[in-house]
């Protein structure tokens, strides 16, 4: 099917019209309204600087069910040593900046200045959240994503210290599991996330999971000020 080019109207084509690669549409903007509508429909933006905005809905979809989190023996030992401090929404700006830095053997970054501006706005509106992992008072790693209903849409994670991003995801997953969240969207496959229990599911099943999760209230605001998000990973 031909790729849909978006205009000012905040409407996306059906996800089953995406190309085999998962690309669904081109253009539009990164307004709060369009981004929320995208995530509600299982769609996310992913593009490089200098390109038009590309919107994706891959099949299969790589996800982590909170009940399926895998914590290795070595990670349990890391967490038990309490070498990291974990916080929520304390420093969203530095987390997204850390995620935007190119990885080894990676050219450039897909987290453009426009993306950082857009997700920072979503953070101010209480939809985007960060998990920070600190070591000796310095930011050692973290992650950020979007929360809608009982669905968390992970966007990116980073580490400056070994095991910091794993600690962030484990802490978040355990907190979301207690709150009854049904799914964490990881978008596309990585071996790092697979080692923590993430797996592919058909896009149709993913859409059903979102529909179910969106029936519940969205926990907006500063998660760091909420007793629902403890600053520790209880194993």
Q: What is the mean pLDDT of the chain?
A: 93
CB atoms within 10 A of CB 79: 22
**Pair 86, 177 in one domain:** yes
Contact by Cβ (8 Å): 129, 96: no
User: Cα–Cα distance between 22 and 25 in angstroms, integer?
Assistant: 10
Residues 6 or more apart whose Cβ sits within 8 Å of residue 66: 173, 174, 176, 177, 181, 182, 183, 184
The answer as to whether 94 is a domain residue is yes
In this structure, is residue 235 part of a structural domain? Answer: no
Give the integer Cα–Cα distance in Å for 138 and 175. Answer: 23
Q: How many residues does the chain have?
A: 235
Question: Region 151-172: what's the mean pLDDT?
Answer: 96
The whole-number pLDDT of residue 229 equals 86
Q: CATH number of the domain at 19, please.
A: 3.30.70.3550
Convert the pLDDT of each residue in 8-58 to its tens digit. 899 999 999 999 999 999 999 999 999 999 999 999 999 988 899 999 999
The string of pLDDT tens digits covering residues 106-125 is: 444 579 999 999 999 999 99
Identify whether the C-beta of residue 56 lies closer than 8 Å to the C-beta of residue 46: yes
Residue 188 lies in a domain: yes
Query: What's the domain range around 150?
Result: 62-225
Query: What is the domain count for the chain?
Result: 2
pLDDT at 92: 98
In a shared domain, residues 45 and 13: yes
């Amino acid at each position: 099917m031909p790729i849909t080019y978006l205009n000012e109207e905040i409407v996306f084509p059906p996800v089953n019209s995406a190309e085999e690669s998962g690309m669904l549409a081109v253009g539009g903007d990164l307004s709060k309204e369009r981004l929320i509508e995208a995530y509600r429909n299982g769609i996310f933006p992913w593009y490089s600087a200098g390109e038009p905005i590309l919107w994706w809905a891959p099949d299969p979809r790589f996800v982590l069910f909170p009940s399926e989190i895998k914590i290795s023996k070595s990670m349990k030992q890391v967490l038990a040593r309490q070498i990291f401090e974990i916080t929520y929404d304390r420093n969203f700006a530095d987390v997204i900046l850390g995620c935007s830095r190119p990885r080894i053997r990676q050219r450039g970054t897909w987290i453009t200045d426009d993306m950082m501006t857009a997700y920072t706005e979503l953070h101010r509106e209480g939809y985007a959240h960060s998990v920070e992992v600190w070591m000796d008072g310095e930011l050692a790693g973290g992650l950020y994503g979007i929360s809608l209903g009982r669905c968390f849409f992970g966007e990116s994670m980073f580490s400056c210290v070994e095991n910091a991003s794993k600690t962030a995801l484990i802490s978040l997953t355990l907190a979301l599991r207690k709150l009854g969240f049904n799914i964490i969207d990881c978008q596309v496959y990585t071996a790092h996330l697979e080692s923590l229990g993430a797996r592919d599911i058909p896009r149709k099943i993913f859409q059903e999971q979102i529909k179910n999760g969106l029936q519940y209230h969205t926990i907006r605001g500063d998660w760091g000020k909420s007793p629902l998000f403890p600053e520790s990973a209880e194993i």
